[in-house]
Amino acid sequence: MGSLLPLSLLLLLAAAYPGGGGARRRRGARAQGPGGSSPAPSETSAPFWVRVSPGFKAVQPGGSVWLNCSTSCPLPENSSLSTGLQRGQTLSGPGWVSYQLLDVRAWSSEVRCFVTCAGETRGATAKITAYKRPQSVILEPPLLVGNEYTLRCHVTHVFPVGFLVVTLRRGGRVIYSENLKRYTGTDLANVTLTYTLPARPRDFWKPVTCHARLSLDGLVVRSSSAPITLTGLAWRPARKALASTSIAALAGILLVVGAAYLRKRPLMQNRSKERRVSAG
């Protein structure tokens, strides 16, 4: 039949591709895993991640904090922590290491956690902030000197002062604000803000308050004083002494008048009786 190939041609083809079908079958078998599924990729060849938590932590000066460094690497070769803070205990488990940091006093510190997996090192960063909320915010009673009020606000035991803003408000409106970013001290401090305000009748009986705000890279801490009312009676000490003397003098006059009246009253009563007897 014309469709049949000559035997010699078939032999040549077989010689040119010896075992071709078997090789294809072997390659196909190598491409199949057990049970006919593809083999899993190498555990160390896949990308891995490193995380540290918490990523941001605020503590009071001298406090401590725990940071947890975790990874998706199944067989980490090494884990380490880079920090200038004092280190305490270290705990570890499968895929994680926890580090304790002691006596945190720097207002802001970066801590980096590193993990090495299959020869590759990756890391994650956390930020630790030390702060102290003001122990108190006190606004003194306003002092009227001439035509001006003197307002004095005390913010006590606060840290870090360089991130403190002190604001005075009258009737809810800002009348003065001071940013203390120029202050670079690293200890707890007391801050006193003094401000003079023109005395105007329209401001009488309006409340004045003092506000302290710490802005620490996303963490905002606020404290406020009790309100003080502006009045026209915020006298100077000399005026207060004069007023007290005047009041005392007035009280003395009233006492003298009262005593004279009491002495005259029996005499008036006797005279009234005598008149009634004479009329009878």
| CB-side neighbour CA atoms (13 Å) of 160 | 21
Distance (Å) of CA 176 to CA 16, 33, 71, 136, 164: 97, 76, 50, 19, 14
Kindly calculate the radius of gyration of the chain based on its CA atoms and give it in whole angstroms.
45
Q: How far apart are CA 182 and CA 118, in angstroms?
A: 48
pLDDT of residue 17 exceeding 90, the answer is: no
The predicted pLDDT at position 60 comes to 85
Q: Give the residue, 133 or 18, on which the prediction is more confident.
A: 133
pLDDT in tens, 193-250: 999 988 888 777 889 999 999 987 777 889 999 998 887 654 444 444 433 433 343 3
Helix (H) or strand (E) holding 275: helix 237-279
**What is the pTM (predicted TM-score) of this model?**
0.54
Q: Are strands 56-59 and 120-130 parallel, antiparallel or unpaired?
A: parallel
The predicted pLDDT at position 191 comes to 94
Domains annotated on the chain, with CATH: 50-130 (2.60.40.10), 136-230 (2.60.40.10)
Q: How far apart are CA 135 and CA 158, in angstroms?
A: 7
Work out the mean pLDDT of the chain and round it to a whole number. Answer: 74
The predicted pLDDT at position 7 comes to 36
Return the closest-CA partner of residue 176 out of 151, 201, 158.
151
pLDDT in tens, 121-166: 999 999 998 888 999 999 999 888 888 889 999 999 999 898 999 9
CB atoms within 10 A of CB 65: 20
Structure tokens at 150: 């003197």
